[in-house]
Amino acid sequence: MKIIFATANEHKLDEVKSICGNCGIEFALPEGDFNPVENGSSFEENSVIKAKEAYRLSKTYCLADDSGLCVNALNGAPGLYSARYAGTQDAKIEKLLHELSDKNDRSAKFVCCMTLLNDCGDVIFQTIGECFGSIVEERKGLNGFGYDPIFLVEGYSKTMAELSPDEKNKVSHRAVALKNVLKFLQSMP
């Protein structure tokens, strides 16, 4: 089975392929210019927007991932705006560390909402995966992408960027969501 993975982020595609392993699904990026307007008011809404745009381009099964980092002391920011929080990824991390500099509560979570459309373009499954942790004061580790270097994973004494790709793909918000999607697909007649 082939599923179009509705993203322009190759890191996410690599993680999805690796989490899936030999699950029998071939994931591919949408063809053409994939640039949906993410103007939803929740991860769920943006995930549907991405999935529908991928369907418009491909007319087959599509899976979208909308994800972000939610920090409790910042009322859930950057959240939906994680990708647009500042210009570069370095600037996003600097801004977040600055905003947190006078806060005691550094707890946070990564959230991933996945939406699956069938080959008629209908939403057939939606799920949320979460990964809990806290924000460290200085970046550590070189693996992963995005906010991984400042996210200390609950139950580990390492940031997400210090985990190996295999370790991240066992505990991440994306892994939790994708496993739910794979379970749903296996249950389909």
Residue positions annotated with a catalytic role = 66
Min. distance of Cβ 184 from ligand IMP in angstroms?
Answer: 20
Beta strands in 49-186 (DSSP E): 62-71, 107-117, 123-135, 151-153
82 binds ligand IMP (CB under 6 A): yes
The DSSP-derived string for 141-172 is -SSSSTTGGGEEETTSSSBTTTS-HHHHHHHS
18 binds ligand IMP (CB under 6 A): no
148 binds ligand IMP (CB under 6 A): yes
Rounded to whole angstroms, how far apart are CA atoms 135 and 137?
Answer: 7
State which of positions 21-80 bind ligand IMP (CB under 6 A).
38, 66-69
Q: Which stretch binds ligand IMP (CB under 6 A): 18-26, 27-35, 52-60, 145-153?
A: 145-153
Which residues partner with 129 through β-bridges? 112
User: Can you tell me whether residue 71 is helix, strand or coil?
Assistant: strand
Question: Footprint of ligand IMP on this chain (CB under 6 A)?
Answer: 9, 38, 66-69, 82-83, 110, 144-148, 160, 172, 174
